[in-house]
Amino acid sequence: MALAAPAAEPVAESLDTRQFGSHPRVCPGNTHTVVAGEYCWLIADRNGMDLTQFLNKNPGLQCENLQIGAKVCI
């Protein structure tokens, strides 16, 4: 007898520790994966928020060390 896998309903996503220190952050909303050429202000602007709002969603984020492939909360 085969069992059906339960439907996945992601509520939060663990984020890369390289951006936020030694413990992974959990993002209760949507995430964005950083691509080449992006920086904090640009990601914030493209997602309808100012830099302060973006940083509040990503406490401890080091914008000067934003890495390609990192996930951030939006």
Is domain 13-73 given the CATH code 3.90.1150.10 in the classification?
no
> Is 0.75 surpassed by the pTM of this model?
no
Q: Read off the pLDDT of residues 10-64 as tens digits, 9 standing for 90 and up.
A: 434 445 444 555 445 688 889 999 999 999 999 999 999 999 999 999 999 999 9
The domains of the chain are located at 13-73
Tell me the β-bridge partners of 32: 72
For residue 33, give Cα distances in angstroms to 4, 5, 42, 49, 62: 31, 27, 13, 16, 15
